[in-house]
Structure 1
Amino acid sequence: MHEFLTAGIIGISLGAQYALLALGFTLIFGILGVINFAHGGFYALGGYVAYAAVSQAGLPFPLAVLAAVVATAALGALYERFLIERLVDDHLATMMLTLGLYLVISTGLLAVFGPQSPEFSFPVQGTLRAGTLYLPLENLVVLAVCAAAIGALWLLIYRTDFGRALRALADDRKVATTQGMRPGLLFPLAFGLATGLAGLTGALVTPILALSPSAGDPVLVTSFLTVILGGLGSIAGAVVAAVIVGFVEAYASVYLGGSTGALILFVTVLVILLARPTGLFGREIRGA
Protein backbone atom coordinates (compact mmCIF):
# COMPACT_ATOMS: atom_id res chain seq x y z
CA MET A 1 0.00 0.00 0.00
CA HIS A 2 2.86 2.39 0.80
CA GLU A 3 4.38 1.73 -2.60
CA PHE A 4 1.00 2.24 -4.25
CA LEU A 5 0.41 5.61 -2.58
CA THR A 6 3.97 6.80 -3.24
CA ALA A 7 3.58 5.90 -6.90
CA GLY A 8 0.35 7.92 -6.88
CA ILE A 9 2.16 11.01 -5.61
CA ILE A 10 4.82 10.59 -8.27
CA GLY A 11 2.07 10.13 -10.85
CA ILE A 12 0.46 13.43 -9.82
CA SER A 13 3.84 15.16 -10.07
CA LEU A 14 4.45 13.66 -13.51
CA GLY A 15 0.97 14.69 -14.56
CA ALA A 16 1.61 18.29 -13.52
CA GLN A 17 4.86 18.35 -15.49
CA TYR A 18 3.22 16.87 -18.57
CA ALA A 19 0.33 19.32 -18.18
CA LEU A 20 2.68 22.30 -18.38
CA LEU A 21 4.32 20.90 -21.50
CA ALA A 22 1.03 19.93 -23.12
CA LEU A 23 -0.54 23.31 -22.30
CA GLY A 24 2.25 25.10 -24.14
CA PHE A 25 1.93 22.71 -27.06
CA THR A 26 -1.86 23.02 -27.31
CA LEU A 27 -1.79 26.78 -26.75
CA ILE A 28 0.28 27.25 -29.90
CA PHE A 29 -1.90 24.92 -31.91
CA GLY A 30 -5.17 26.32 -30.57
CA ILE A 31 -4.29 29.95 -31.32
CA LEU A 32 -1.94 29.79 -34.30
CA GLY A 33 -2.80 26.39 -35.74
CA VAL A 34 0.91 25.50 -35.59
CA ILE A 35 2.27 22.14 -34.44
CA ASN A 36 5.45 23.14 -32.60
CA PHE A 37 8.00 20.36 -33.05
CA ALA A 38 10.57 22.58 -31.32
CA HIS A 39 8.77 22.23 -27.99
CA GLY A 40 11.19 19.58 -26.74
CA GLY A 41 14.10 21.80 -27.73
CA PHE A 42 12.80 24.64 -25.55
CA TYR A 43 12.47 22.15 -22.68
CA ALA A 44 16.13 21.15 -23.01
CA LEU A 45 17.19 24.77 -23.49
CA GLY A 46 15.40 25.76 -20.29
CA GLY A 47 17.36 23.11 -18.42
CA TYR A 48 20.70 24.29 -19.80
CA VAL A 49 19.96 27.97 -19.15
CA ALA A 50 19.16 27.13 -15.53
CA TYR A 51 22.30 25.00 -15.29
CA ALA A 52 24.49 27.78 -16.69
CA ALA A 53 22.85 30.35 -14.41
CA VAL A 54 23.60 28.21 -11.35
CA SER A 55 27.04 26.83 -12.22
CA GLN A 56 28.55 29.81 -14.06
CA ALA A 57 26.65 32.89 -12.95
CA GLY A 58 26.20 31.67 -9.38
CA LEU A 59 22.49 32.49 -9.26
CA PRO A 60 20.26 30.77 -6.73
CA PHE A 61 18.05 28.09 -8.23
CA PRO A 62 14.76 30.09 -8.20
CA LEU A 63 16.42 32.93 -10.15
CA ALA A 64 17.99 30.40 -12.50
CA VAL A 65 14.53 28.99 -13.22
CA LEU A 66 13.25 32.52 -13.86
CA ALA A 67 16.16 33.14 -16.24
CA ALA A 68 15.26 29.95 -18.12
CA VAL A 69 11.64 31.06 -18.48
CA VAL A 70 12.62 34.53 -19.73
CA ALA A 71 15.20 33.16 -22.19
CA THR A 72 12.94 30.52 -23.73
CA ALA A 73 9.95 32.86 -23.86
CA ALA A 74 11.98 35.59 -25.56
CA LEU A 75 13.45 33.18 -28.11
CA GLY A 76 10.01 31.74 -28.86
CA ALA A 77 8.44 35.18 -29.31
CA LEU A 78 11.23 36.33 -31.64
CA TYR A 79 11.09 33.14 -33.67
CA GLU A 80 7.35 33.48 -34.16
CA ARG A 81 7.55 37.18 -34.99
CA PHE A 82 10.24 36.95 -37.65
CA LEU A 83 9.77 33.46 -39.12
CA ILE A 84 6.60 31.60 -38.14
CA GLU A 85 4.30 34.57 -38.63
CA ARG A 86 5.32 34.96 -42.26
CA LEU A 87 4.09 31.44 -43.01
CA VAL A 88 1.53 30.92 -40.25
CA ASP A 89 -1.19 29.72 -42.65
CA ASP A 90 1.12 27.22 -44.37
CA HIS A 91 0.99 24.29 -41.96
CA LEU A 92 3.64 22.20 -43.71
CA ALA A 93 6.06 25.13 -43.78
CA THR A 94 5.56 25.93 -40.09
CA MET A 95 6.05 22.27 -39.18
CA MET A 96 9.35 22.28 -41.06
CA LEU A 97 10.37 25.57 -39.42
CA THR A 98 9.72 24.27 -35.91
CA LEU A 99 11.46 20.98 -36.68
CA GLY A 100 14.43 22.92 -38.01
CA LEU A 101 14.53 25.05 -34.86
CA TYR A 102 14.54 21.90 -32.73
CA LEU A 103 17.53 20.57 -34.64
CA VAL A 104 19.31 23.92 -34.29
CA ILE A 105 18.71 24.02 -30.54
CA SER A 106 19.77 20.43 -29.88
CA THR A 107 22.83 20.71 -32.11
CA GLY A 108 23.79 24.02 -30.55
CA LEU A 109 23.50 22.59 -27.03
CA LEU A 110 25.63 19.62 -28.07
CA ALA A 111 28.31 21.93 -29.52
CA VAL A 112 28.42 24.19 -26.47
CA PHE A 113 28.01 21.75 -23.59
CA GLY A 114 29.08 18.43 -25.10
CA PRO A 115 27.28 15.06 -25.05
CA GLN A 116 27.83 14.31 -21.35
CA SER A 117 25.16 15.11 -18.80
CA PRO A 118 26.43 17.93 -16.55
CA GLU A 119 26.29 17.71 -12.77
CA PHE A 120 23.06 19.55 -12.09
CA SER A 121 21.08 18.54 -9.02
CA PHE A 122 17.82 19.77 -7.57
CA PRO A 123 18.45 22.04 -4.56
CA VAL A 124 15.86 20.29 -2.38
CA GLN A 125 16.76 16.74 -1.46
CA GLY A 126 15.43 14.05 0.84
CA THR A 127 11.99 12.79 1.73
CA LEU A 128 9.00 14.06 3.66
CA ARG A 129 7.41 11.67 6.13
CA ALA A 130 3.62 11.74 6.21
CA GLY A 131 2.49 9.02 8.58
CA THR A 132 3.90 5.83 7.14
CA LEU A 133 4.58 7.41 3.75
CA TYR A 134 7.92 8.77 2.59
CA LEU A 135 7.45 11.29 -0.20
CA PRO A 136 10.32 12.65 -2.36
CA LEU A 137 10.66 16.35 -1.57
CA GLU A 138 11.80 17.27 -5.07
CA ASN A 139 8.63 15.79 -6.57
CA LEU A 140 6.48 17.73 -4.11
CA VAL A 141 8.26 21.00 -4.92
CA VAL A 142 7.91 20.43 -8.66
CA LEU A 143 4.25 19.56 -8.18
CA ALA A 144 3.62 22.78 -6.23
CA VAL A 145 5.37 24.98 -8.80
CA CYS A 146 3.67 23.30 -11.75
CA ALA A 147 0.26 23.55 -10.10
CA ALA A 148 0.83 27.25 -9.40
CA ALA A 149 1.90 27.81 -13.03
CA ILE A 150 -1.16 25.97 -14.35
CA GLY A 151 -3.41 28.05 -12.11
CA ALA A 152 -1.74 31.27 -13.24
CA LEU A 153 -2.14 30.26 -16.89
CA TRP A 154 -5.84 29.53 -16.35
CA LEU A 155 -6.35 32.96 -14.80
CA LEU A 156 -4.43 34.59 -17.65
CA ILE A 157 -6.45 32.85 -20.36
CA TYR A 158 -9.91 33.12 -18.78
CA ARG A 159 -9.78 36.17 -16.54
CA THR A 160 -7.80 38.81 -18.44
CA ASP A 161 -8.32 40.89 -21.57
CA PHE A 162 -5.16 39.33 -23.00
CA GLY A 163 -6.62 35.85 -22.61
CA ARG A 164 -9.96 36.87 -24.07
CA ALA A 165 -8.15 38.35 -27.08
CA LEU A 166 -6.22 35.10 -27.59
CA ARG A 167 -9.40 33.04 -27.41
CA ALA A 168 -11.11 35.38 -29.84
CA LEU A 169 -8.27 34.93 -32.32
CA ALA A 170 -8.45 31.17 -31.83
CA ASP A 171 -12.19 31.11 -32.51
CA ASP A 172 -12.25 33.34 -35.59
CA ARG A 173 -9.12 35.25 -36.58
CA LYS A 174 -10.78 37.38 -39.25
CA VAL A 175 -13.63 38.55 -37.02
CA ALA A 176 -11.28 39.16 -34.09
CA THR A 177 -8.99 41.24 -36.30
CA THR A 178 -11.88 43.43 -37.41
CA GLN A 179 -12.69 43.99 -33.74
CA GLY A 180 -9.24 45.45 -33.10
CA MET A 181 -7.25 42.37 -32.10
CA ARG A 182 -3.64 42.56 -33.33
CA PRO A 183 -2.28 39.15 -34.38
CA GLY A 184 1.15 40.67 -35.08
CA LEU A 185 1.42 41.48 -31.37
CA LEU A 186 -0.59 38.69 -29.77
CA PHE A 187 0.80 35.74 -31.73
CA PRO A 188 4.44 36.29 -30.63
CA LEU A 189 3.27 36.77 -27.04
CA ALA A 190 1.28 33.53 -27.18
CA PHE A 191 4.19 31.64 -28.72
CA GLY A 192 6.56 33.07 -26.12
CA LEU A 193 4.17 32.13 -23.32
CA ALA A 194 4.04 28.54 -24.59
CA THR A 195 7.80 28.18 -25.01
CA GLY A 196 8.32 29.79 -21.60
CA LEU A 197 6.20 27.01 -20.09
CA ALA A 198 8.46 24.44 -21.77
CA GLY A 199 11.53 26.24 -20.45
CA LEU A 200 10.05 26.32 -16.95
CA THR A 201 9.40 22.59 -17.03
CA GLY A 202 12.90 21.87 -18.29
CA ALA A 203 14.52 24.02 -15.60
CA LEU A 204 12.51 22.25 -12.89
CA VAL A 205 12.68 18.66 -14.09
CA THR A 206 16.08 18.13 -15.73
CA PRO A 207 17.97 18.42 -12.40
CA ILE A 208 15.86 15.50 -11.14
CA LEU A 209 15.98 13.36 -14.27
CA ALA A 210 18.88 14.06 -16.61
CA LEU A 211 20.12 17.01 -18.63
CA SER A 212 21.42 16.34 -22.12
CA PRO A 213 21.11 17.92 -25.58
CA SER A 214 18.62 15.19 -26.51
CA ALA A 215 16.54 15.57 -23.34
CA GLY A 216 13.73 17.02 -25.41
CA ASP A 217 13.21 13.89 -27.53
CA PRO A 218 10.97 11.96 -25.11
CA VAL A 219 9.34 15.22 -24.02
CA LEU A 220 8.23 15.97 -27.57
CA VAL A 221 6.72 12.50 -27.94
CA THR A 222 4.92 12.69 -24.58
CA SER A 223 3.63 16.21 -25.22
CA PHE A 224 2.26 15.26 -28.61
CA LEU A 225 0.70 12.09 -27.19
CA THR A 226 -0.92 14.03 -24.35
CA VAL A 227 -2.31 16.74 -26.62
CA ILE A 228 -3.77 14.16 -29.02
CA LEU A 229 -5.32 12.27 -26.12
CA GLY A 230 -6.87 15.39 -24.60
CA GLY A 231 -8.08 16.80 -27.91
CA LEU A 232 -6.10 19.19 -30.09
CA GLY A 233 -6.51 22.78 -28.96
CA SER A 234 -8.28 21.95 -25.68
CA ILE A 235 -6.67 23.35 -22.53
CA ALA A 236 -8.90 21.32 -20.22
CA GLY A 237 -8.24 18.21 -22.27
CA ALA A 238 -4.48 18.73 -22.06
CA VAL A 239 -4.61 18.86 -18.25
CA VAL A 240 -6.87 15.81 -17.88
CA ALA A 241 -4.85 13.79 -20.39
CA ALA A 242 -1.59 14.78 -18.67
CA VAL A 243 -2.87 13.47 -15.33
CA ILE A 244 -3.90 10.20 -16.96
CA VAL A 245 -0.53 9.84 -18.66
CA GLY A 246 1.28 10.66 -15.41
CA PHE A 247 -0.62 8.04 -13.40
CA VAL A 248 -0.30 5.34 -16.05
CA GLU A 249 3.43 5.96 -16.44
CA ALA A 250 4.07 6.02 -12.68
CA TYR A 251 2.14 2.86 -11.80
CA ALA A 252 3.23 0.93 -14.90
CA SER A 253 6.89 1.80 -14.29
CA VAL A 254 6.73 0.83 -10.60
CA TYR A 255 4.94 -2.47 -11.08
CA LEU A 256 5.93 -3.50 -14.60
CA GLY A 257 9.25 -1.81 -15.33
CA GLY A 258 10.23 1.07 -17.60
CA SER A 259 9.94 -0.53 -21.04
CA THR A 260 6.74 -2.39 -20.20
CA GLY A 261 5.37 0.76 -18.64
CA ALA A 262 5.87 2.66 -21.90
CA LEU A 263 4.02 -0.10 -23.76
CA ILE A 264 1.12 0.04 -21.29
CA LEU A 265 0.96 3.81 -21.72
CA PHE A 266 0.70 3.57 -25.51
CA VAL A 267 -1.90 0.81 -25.28
CA THR A 268 -3.96 2.89 -22.84
CA VAL A 269 -3.86 5.91 -25.13
CA LEU A 270 -4.75 3.73 -28.12
CA VAL A 271 -7.77 2.26 -26.34
CA ILE A 272 -9.03 5.70 -25.32
CA LEU A 273 -8.58 7.07 -28.84
CA LEU A 274 -10.44 4.09 -30.29
CA ALA A 275 -13.38 5.00 -28.08
CA ARG A 276 -13.01 8.76 -28.68
CA PRO A 277 -11.04 9.41 -31.89
CA THR A 278 -11.12 13.19 -31.40
CA GLY A 279 -9.66 12.92 -27.89
CA LEU A 280 -11.21 13.16 -24.45
CA PHE A 281 -12.58 16.65 -25.00
CA GLY A 282 -13.51 16.07 -28.61
CA ARG A 283 -14.34 19.04 -30.80
CA GLU A 284 -14.23 21.82 -28.25
CA ILE A 285 -13.62 25.40 -29.28
CA ARG A 286 -9.89 25.99 -29.64
CA GLY A 287 -8.32 27.32 -26.49
CA ALA A 288 -11.29 26.25 -24.37
Structure 2
Amino acid sequence: MASFVSAGLIGISLGAQYALLALGFTLIFGILGVVNFAHGGFYVLGGYAAYSCVTFLGLPYPLAVVAAMLATGALGYVFELFVVERVVDDHLATLMLTLGLYLMIGTGIQAVYGPESPQFGFPVTGTLRFAGFYMPLENLVVLAVCLVAIAGVYALMYRTDLGRGLRALADNRQVAATQGLRPKLLFPLAFALSCGLAGLTGALVTPILSLGPLVGEPVLAMAFLTVILGGFGSIIGATVAAFLVGLIEAYSVVYLGGSKGALALFVLVLVVLIVRPSGLFGKEARGA
Protein backbone atom coordinates (compact mmCIF):
# COMPACT_ATOMS: atom_id res chain seq x y z
CA MET A 1 0.00 0.00 0.00
CA ALA A 2 2.83 2.39 0.84
CA SER A 3 4.48 1.90 -2.54
CA PHE A 4 1.10 2.25 -4.27
CA VAL A 5 0.39 5.59 -2.60
CA SER A 6 3.95 6.82 -3.10
CA ALA A 7 3.80 6.00 -6.81
CA GLY A 8 0.48 7.84 -7.00
CA LEU A 9 2.02 10.96 -5.41
CA ILE A 10 4.87 10.91 -7.91
CA GLY A 11 2.34 10.35 -10.71
CA ILE A 12 0.40 13.43 -9.61
CA SER A 13 3.64 15.43 -9.68
CA LEU A 14 4.35 14.18 -13.19
CA GLY A 15 0.79 14.98 -14.20
CA ALA A 16 1.15 18.56 -13.00
CA GLN A 17 4.27 18.96 -15.14
CA TYR A 18 2.55 17.48 -18.17
CA ALA A 19 -0.48 19.69 -17.53
CA LEU A 20 1.60 22.87 -17.82
CA LEU A 21 3.08 21.65 -21.09
CA ALA A 22 -0.25 20.44 -22.47
CA LEU A 23 -2.08 23.63 -21.47
CA GLY A 24 0.35 25.75 -23.44
CA PHE A 25 0.22 23.40 -26.41
CA THR A 26 -3.56 23.21 -26.51
CA LEU A 27 -4.03 26.96 -26.00
CA ILE A 28 -2.16 27.68 -29.21
CA PHE A 29 -4.14 25.13 -31.16
CA GLY A 30 -7.47 26.18 -29.71
CA ILE A 31 -6.96 29.92 -30.21
CA LEU A 32 -4.74 30.17 -33.29
CA GLY A 33 -5.34 26.76 -34.85
CA VAL A 34 -1.56 26.24 -34.87
CA VAL A 35 0.21 23.02 -33.91
CA ASN A 36 3.32 24.46 -32.27
CA PHE A 37 6.17 22.03 -32.90
CA ALA A 38 8.56 24.49 -31.25
CA HIS A 39 6.94 23.80 -27.86
CA GLY A 40 9.67 21.36 -26.88
CA GLY A 41 12.27 23.93 -27.89
CA PHE A 42 10.84 26.51 -25.51
CA TYR A 43 10.95 23.87 -22.76
CA VAL A 44 14.67 23.42 -23.45
CA LEU A 45 15.20 27.17 -23.59
CA GLY A 46 13.56 27.54 -20.21
CA GLY A 47 15.99 25.04 -18.73
CA TYR A 48 19.03 26.70 -20.24
CA ALA A 49 17.81 30.18 -19.32
CA ALA A 50 17.45 29.14 -15.67
CA TYR A 51 20.83 27.41 -15.79
CA SER A 52 22.49 30.53 -17.23
CA CYS A 53 20.86 32.81 -14.66
CA VAL A 54 22.08 30.62 -11.79
CA THR A 55 25.53 29.78 -13.16
CA PHE A 56 26.62 32.98 -14.88
CA LEU A 57 24.50 35.70 -13.25
CA GLY A 58 24.40 34.24 -9.76
CA LEU A 59 20.64 34.62 -9.38
CA PRO A 60 18.79 32.55 -6.80
CA TYR A 61 17.02 29.61 -8.38
CA PRO A 62 13.45 30.96 -7.83
CA LEU A 63 14.35 34.20 -9.60
CA ALA A 64 16.04 32.22 -12.36
CA VAL A 65 12.81 30.26 -12.91
CA VAL A 66 10.80 33.49 -13.17
CA ALA A 67 13.38 34.97 -15.55
CA ALA A 68 13.25 31.84 -17.73
CA MET A 69 9.47 32.00 -17.92
CA LEU A 70 9.50 35.69 -18.86
CA ALA A 71 12.28 35.24 -21.42
CA THR A 72 10.60 32.34 -23.22
CA GLY A 73 7.27 34.16 -23.11
CA ALA A 74 8.83 37.27 -24.65
CA LEU A 75 10.48 35.22 -27.39
CA GLY A 76 7.16 33.53 -28.13
CA TYR A 77 5.46 36.91 -28.37
CA VAL A 78 8.02 38.20 -30.86
CA PHE A 79 7.95 35.00 -32.91
CA GLU A 80 4.17 35.07 -33.25
CA LEU A 81 4.00 38.80 -33.96
CA PHE A 82 6.64 38.90 -36.68
CA VAL A 83 6.58 35.37 -38.12
CA VAL A 84 3.53 33.25 -37.35
CA GLU A 85 1.07 36.13 -37.69
CA ARG A 86 1.95 36.51 -41.37
CA VAL A 87 0.82 32.96 -42.20
CA VAL A 88 -1.44 32.13 -39.26
CA ASP A 89 -4.20 30.71 -41.47
CA ASP A 90 -1.84 28.51 -43.47
CA HIS A 91 -1.55 25.39 -41.31
CA LEU A 92 1.24 23.80 -43.33
CA ALA A 93 3.29 27.00 -43.23
CA THR A 94 2.88 27.41 -39.46
CA LEU A 95 3.81 23.77 -38.93
CA MET A 96 7.00 24.18 -40.96
CA LEU A 97 7.85 27.48 -39.25
CA THR A 98 7.46 26.11 -35.74
CA LEU A 99 9.38 22.97 -36.65
CA GLY A 100 12.12 25.14 -38.13
CA LEU A 101 12.24 27.22 -34.95
CA TYR A 102 12.62 24.07 -32.87
CA LEU A 103 15.58 22.99 -35.00
CA MET A 104 17.10 26.46 -34.75
CA ILE A 105 16.77 26.42 -30.96
CA GLY A 106 18.47 23.04 -30.69
CA THR A 107 21.27 24.04 -33.07
CA GLY A 108 21.79 27.37 -31.33
CA ILE A 109 22.00 25.75 -27.90
CA GLN A 110 24.57 23.24 -29.13
CA ALA A 111 26.62 26.04 -30.66
CA VAL A 112 26.63 28.07 -27.43
CA TYR A 113 26.70 25.41 -24.71
CA GLY A 114 27.98 22.35 -26.55
CA PRO A 115 26.30 18.96 -26.93
CA GLU A 116 27.01 17.75 -23.38
CA SER A 117 24.54 18.09 -20.55
CA PRO A 118 25.58 20.84 -18.12
CA GLN A 119 25.65 20.24 -14.37
CA PHE A 120 22.44 21.81 -13.15
CA GLY A 121 21.01 20.43 -9.93
CA PHE A 122 17.77 21.18 -8.16
CA PRO A 123 18.40 23.28 -5.03
CA VAL A 124 16.17 21.11 -2.81
CA THR A 125 17.06 17.47 -2.20
CA GLY A 126 15.96 14.71 0.11
CA THR A 127 12.82 12.67 0.65
CA LEU A 128 9.68 13.39 2.63
CA ARG A 129 8.55 10.33 4.58
CA PHE A 130 5.30 10.04 6.48
CA ALA A 131 3.43 6.95 7.75
CA GLY A 132 5.38 4.71 5.40
CA PHE A 133 4.77 6.92 2.36
CA TYR A 134 7.55 8.81 0.65
CA MET A 135 7.99 11.51 -1.97
CA PRO A 136 11.18 13.25 -3.21
CA LEU A 137 11.21 16.83 -1.98
CA GLU A 138 12.08 18.15 -5.43
CA ASN A 139 8.92 16.52 -6.84
CA LEU A 140 6.90 18.06 -4.03
CA VAL A 141 8.26 21.54 -4.76
CA VAL A 142 7.64 21.15 -8.49
CA LEU A 143 4.12 19.91 -7.81
CA ALA A 144 3.33 22.93 -5.66
CA VAL A 145 4.65 25.41 -8.23
CA CYS A 146 2.88 23.65 -11.10
CA LEU A 147 -0.44 23.61 -9.26
CA VAL A 148 -0.16 27.34 -8.57
CA ALA A 149 0.67 27.96 -12.23
CA ILE A 150 -2.24 25.78 -13.42
CA ALA A 151 -4.61 27.63 -11.10
CA GLY A 152 -3.27 30.89 -12.50
CA VAL A 153 -3.95 29.78 -16.07
CA TYR A 154 -7.53 28.81 -15.19
CA ALA A 155 -8.07 32.11 -13.36
CA LEU A 156 -6.74 34.00 -16.37
CA MET A 157 -8.83 32.09 -18.89
CA TYR A 158 -12.11 32.02 -16.94
CA ARG A 159 -11.99 35.03 -14.62
CA THR A 160 -10.50 37.86 -16.69
CA ASP A 161 -11.56 39.82 -19.74
CA LEU A 162 -8.38 38.75 -21.51
CA GLY A 163 -9.18 35.08 -20.96
CA ARG A 164 -12.78 35.52 -22.09
CA GLY A 165 -11.52 37.24 -25.20
CA LEU A 166 -9.09 34.43 -25.96
CA ARG A 167 -11.81 31.81 -25.50
CA ALA A 168 -14.15 33.82 -27.71
CA LEU A 169 -11.53 33.80 -30.45
CA ALA A 170 -11.15 30.06 -30.02
CA ASP A 171 -14.92 29.53 -30.35
CA ASN A 172 -15.40 31.67 -33.45
CA ARG A 173 -12.79 34.13 -34.66
CA GLN A 174 -15.08 35.95 -37.10
CA VAL A 175 -17.88 36.50 -34.60
CA ALA A 176 -15.40 37.58 -31.92
CA ALA A 177 -13.89 40.12 -34.31
CA THR A 178 -17.31 41.63 -34.99
CA GLN A 179 -17.70 42.11 -31.22
CA GLY A 180 -14.60 44.32 -31.13
CA LEU A 181 -11.91 41.77 -30.28
CA ARG A 182 -8.67 42.21 -32.20
CA PRO A 183 -6.97 38.89 -33.05
CA LYS A 184 -3.71 40.56 -34.03
CA LEU A 185 -3.38 41.92 -30.51
CA LEU A 186 -4.49 38.78 -28.67
CA PHE A 187 -2.70 36.12 -30.72
CA PRO A 188 0.82 37.19 -29.64
CA LEU A 189 -0.33 37.25 -26.01
CA ALA A 190 -1.68 33.70 -26.31
CA PHE A 191 1.57 32.53 -27.90
CA ALA A 192 3.59 34.25 -25.18
CA LEU A 193 1.52 32.55 -22.48
CA SER A 194 2.02 29.15 -24.13
CA CYS A 195 5.76 29.55 -24.53
CA GLY A 196 6.11 30.97 -21.02
CA LEU A 197 4.43 27.87 -19.60
CA ALA A 198 6.81 25.64 -21.57
CA GLY A 199 9.79 27.66 -20.34
CA LEU A 200 8.54 27.52 -16.76
CA THR A 201 8.21 23.73 -16.98
CA GLY A 202 11.70 23.40 -18.42
CA ALA A 203 13.21 25.58 -15.70
CA LEU A 204 11.51 23.47 -13.03
CA VAL A 205 12.02 19.99 -14.42
CA THR A 206 15.37 19.91 -16.24
CA PRO A 207 17.42 20.22 -13.01
CA ILE A 208 15.69 17.05 -11.75
CA LEU A 209 15.75 15.03 -14.97
CA SER A 210 18.41 16.23 -17.40
CA LEU A 211 19.32 19.28 -19.42
CA GLY A 212 20.56 19.01 -22.97
CA PRO A 213 19.87 20.31 -26.48
CA LEU A 214 17.69 17.32 -27.38
CA VAL A 215 15.59 16.86 -24.23
CA GLY A 216 12.71 18.70 -25.88
CA GLU A 217 11.89 15.82 -28.24
CA PRO A 218 10.29 13.45 -25.69
CA VAL A 219 8.63 16.45 -24.05
CA LEU A 220 7.02 17.47 -27.32
CA ALA A 221 5.88 13.90 -27.92
CA MET A 222 4.34 13.67 -24.43
CA ALA A 223 2.59 17.03 -24.78
CA PHE A 224 1.21 16.01 -28.17
CA LEU A 225 0.03 12.66 -26.81
CA THR A 226 -1.63 14.30 -23.82
CA VAL A 227 -3.45 16.86 -25.94
CA ILE A 228 -4.69 14.15 -28.30
CA LEU A 229 -5.98 12.13 -25.36
CA GLY A 230 -7.75 15.10 -23.78
CA GLY A 231 -9.06 16.58 -27.03
CA PHE A 232 -7.33 19.20 -29.17
CA GLY A 233 -8.05 22.71 -27.95
CA SER A 234 -9.69 21.64 -24.67
CA ILE A 235 -8.20 23.24 -21.58
CA ILE A 236 -10.04 20.92 -19.22
CA GLY A 237 -9.26 17.90 -21.38
CA ALA A 238 -5.54 18.71 -21.43
CA THR A 239 -5.47 18.98 -17.64
CA VAL A 240 -7.39 15.78 -16.97
CA ALA A 241 -5.41 13.82 -19.56
CA ALA A 242 -2.10 15.13 -18.16
CA PHE A 243 -2.79 13.83 -14.67
CA LEU A 244 -4.06 10.56 -16.11
CA VAL A 245 -0.86 10.17 -18.14
CA GLY A 246 1.27 11.02 -15.11
CA LEU A 247 -0.43 8.38 -12.96
CA ILE A 248 -0.20 5.75 -15.69
CA GLU A 249 3.50 6.48 -16.18
CA ALA A 250 4.27 6.29 -12.46
CA TYR A 251 2.36 3.07 -11.84
CA SER A 252 3.68 1.51 -15.01
CA VAL A 253 7.29 2.10 -14.02
CA VAL A 254 6.67 0.58 -10.58
CA TYR A 255 4.61 -2.44 -11.59
CA LEU A 256 5.34 -3.05 -15.29
CA GLY A 257 8.69 -1.50 -16.11
CA GLY A 258 9.44 1.47 -18.35
CA SER A 259 8.93 -0.08 -21.80
CA LYS A 260 5.71 -1.86 -20.84
CA GLY A 261 4.48 1.33 -19.25
CA ALA A 262 4.97 3.24 -22.49
CA LEU A 263 3.09 0.51 -24.34
CA ALA A 264 0.22 0.73 -21.83
CA LEU A 265 0.00 4.46 -22.39
CA PHE A 266 -0.14 4.18 -26.16
CA VAL A 267 -2.76 1.42 -25.91
CA LEU A 268 -4.88 3.69 -23.72
CA VAL A 269 -4.67 6.54 -26.21
CA LEU A 270 -5.53 4.18 -29.06
CA VAL A 271 -8.58 2.82 -27.22
CA VAL A 272 -9.80 6.30 -26.35
CA LEU A 273 -9.43 7.48 -29.93
CA ILE A 274 -11.31 4.45 -31.21
CA VAL A 275 -14.20 5.11 -28.81
CA ARG A 276 -13.98 8.92 -28.94
CA PRO A 277 -11.98 10.10 -31.97
CA SER A 278 -12.04 13.69 -30.71
CA GLY A 279 -10.54 12.75 -27.33
CA LEU A 280 -11.94 12.60 -23.81
CA PHE A 281 -13.30 16.15 -23.99
CA GLY A 282 -13.76 16.38 -27.74
CA LYS A 283 -16.90 18.51 -27.54
CA GLU A 284 -14.74 21.31 -26.18
CA ALA A 285 -12.03 20.86 -28.75
CA ARG A 286 -12.18 24.41 -30.02
CA GLY A 287 -12.05 26.40 -26.85
CA ALA A 288 -12.75 24.35 -23.73
Distance 1:228 1:169 in 2: 21
Q: State how far apart, in whole Å, the 1-side matches of 2:110 and 2:258 are.
A: 26
Corresponding position of 1:275: 275
The residue number in structure 1 matching 2:29 is 29
Partner of 1:87: 87
Gaps of 5+ in 1: none
- 1:57 counterpart residue number: 57
Gap change, CA 1:191 and 1:212, over 3 Å in 2: same
1:1-288 map, 5 Å: 1-284=1-284, 286-288=286-288
Instruction: Give 1:91 deviation, angstroms.
Output: 0.3
In 1, the alpha carbon distance for the partners of 2:84 and 2:276 equals 32
Q: Alpha-carbon deviations, 1:149-191, whole Å to 9, x = none? A: 0000000000000001111111111121122111111100000
Aligned length: 288
One-letter amino acid of the counterpart of residue 112, structure 2: V
> What letter corresponds to residue 201 of structure 2 in structure 1?
T
Of stretches 262-271 and 243-252 in structure 1, the one that deviates more from structure 2 is 262-271
Amino acid at match of 1:152: G
Match of 1:129, SS state, is strand
Q: Which amino acid aligns with 2:68?
A: A
What SS is found at the alignment partner of 2:283? coil
Distance 2:8 2:258 in 1: 16
Output one character per residue of 1:37-95: Cα deviation in whole Å (capped at 9) or x when no partner. 00000000000000000011000000000010011000001000001000000000000
Name the amino acid aligned to 1:224.
Answer: F
CA offsets 1:223-265 (integer angstroms, 9 cap, x no match): 0000000000000000010011101111111222222211111
Q: TM-score, normalised by structure 2?
A: 0.98
Q: Secondary structure at the residue paired with 2:282? A: coil
Q: 2:153, 2:176 → 1: CA distance?
A: 21
Deviation sequence 1:101-156 (CA, Å, 0-9, x none): 00000111111111111110111100112121121111111111000000000000
SS in 1 for 2:286: coil
Structure 1 contact 77–192 (Cα < 8 Å) conserved: yes
C-alpha distance 44-63 of structure 1, shift in aligned 2 (>3 A): same
Instruction: Name which of structure 1's ranges 258-267 and 13-22 shifts more when overlaid on structure 2.
Output: 258-267
Structure 1 window deviating more from structure 2 (265-274 vs 73-82): it is 265-274
Tell me the distance in 1 between the aligned counterparts of 2:144 and 2:44: 21
Alpha-carbon distance between aligned partners in 1 of 2:15 and 2:152, rounded to the nearest angstrom:
17
- Which amino acid counterpart does residue 46 of structure 1 have in structure 2? G
DSSP 3-state at the match of 2:209 = coil
Which segments of 5 or more consecutive residues in structure 2 lack a partner in the other structure? none
- DSSP 3-state at the match of 2:193: helix
Larger mean Cα displacement after TM superposition, 136-145 or 274-283: 274-283
Maintained 8 Å contact 2:231/2:285: no
Contact 2:22–2:223 (CA under 8 A) maintained in structure 1 = yes
CA distance in 2, matches of 1:260, 1:47: 29
Distance 1:287 1:172 in 2: 9
Q: Find the residue that maps to 1:283 and give its secondary structure.
A: helix
Residues in 1 aligned to 2:214 and 2:285: alpha-carbon distance in whole angstroms: 34
Shift of 1:285: 5.4
- SS of residue matched to 2:128: strand
Letter aligned with residue 262 of structure 2: A
RMSD, matched Cα: 0.9
Query: What is the distance in 2 between the residues matched to 1:70 and 1:29?
Result: 21
Matches of 2:210 and 2:185 in 1, distance apart? 36
Q: Is the 8 A contact 1:171 1:285 kept in 2?
A: no
